[in-house]
Amino acid sequence: MAMPSLRSRSRLARGHVRTLRYRAVDESLGRHATHRCSASGTAATGLVALDRSGYHNTHQKHCSKGLPVVRKSVPLLTLVLIFLIAGPLLSHDFWLIPHASRVAPGSDLVIDGQTSSEFPTSVSAVTPDRVARARVITSRGERHIEQLQVVGNSLRLSDRPTQVGQALVEITIHPRTIPESPESFRRYLELEGAPEALERYEREGLLPTDSITRRYAKYAKTVVEVGEDGPRAFNTVVGHPLEFVPLTDPASAARDELLRFQLLFLGSPLATARGHASVAASAASDGAYAETTFETDANGEFAIEVTGSGLWNVRALHIVPAPAHSGADWDVHWATLVWWTAR
Give pLDDT tens digits for 272-289.
Answer: 999 999 999 888 888 888
Question: How many residues are given for the chain?
Answer: 343
Nearest to 322, CA basis, from 208, 214, 193, 207: 214
User: In sequence order, what are the residues at sequence separation of 6 or more whose Cβ sits closer than 8 angstroms to the Cβ of residue 119?
Assistant: 93, 95, 278, 280, 287, 288, 313, 315
Q: What is the pLDDT of residue 308?
A: 84
Contact 287, 315 (CB under 8 A): no
Contact 168, 137 (CB under 8 A): yes
Q: What is the pLDDT of residue 218?
A: 94
Rounded Cα–Cα distance for residues 332 and 108 (Å) = 34
Cα–chain center distance at 173: 12
The domain segmentation of the chain, as residue ranges, is 14-341
Q: What is the pLDDT of residue 76?
A: 43
Which tens digit of pLDDT belongs to each residue from 125-181?
999 999 999 999 999 999 999 999 999 999 999 999 999 999 999 999 999 999 999
Q: What is the pLDDT of residue 181?
A: 94
- Phi/psi at 244 (5° precision): -90, 130
SS3 of the chain: the string is CCCCCCCCCCCCCHHHHHHHHHHHHHHHCCCCCCCCCCCCCCCCCCHHHHHHCCCCCCCCCCCCCCCCCCCCCCCHHHHHHHHHHHHHHCCCEEEEEECCCEECCCCCEEEEEEEECCCCCCCECCCHHHEEEEEEEECCEEEECCEEEEECCEEEEEECCCCCEEEEEEEEECCEEEEECHHHHHHHHHHCCCHHHHHHHHHCCCCCCCCEEEEEEEEEEEEEEECCCCCCCCCCCCCCCEEEEECCCHHHCCCCCEEEEEEEECCEECCCCEEEEEEECCCCCCCCEEEEEEECCCCCEEEEECCCCEEEEEEEEEEEECCCCCCCCEEEEEEEEEEEECC
Q: What is the pLDDT of residue 342?
A: 75
Cα–chain center distance at 187: 20
User: In sequence order, what are the residues at sequence separation of 6 or more whose Cβ sits closer than 8 angstroms to the Cβ of residue 214?
Assistant: 40, 42, 177, 178, 179, 180, 185, 188, 328, 329, 330, 332
Start-to-end CA distance of the chain, whole Å, equals 26
Give the chain's residues under pLDDT 50: 1-89
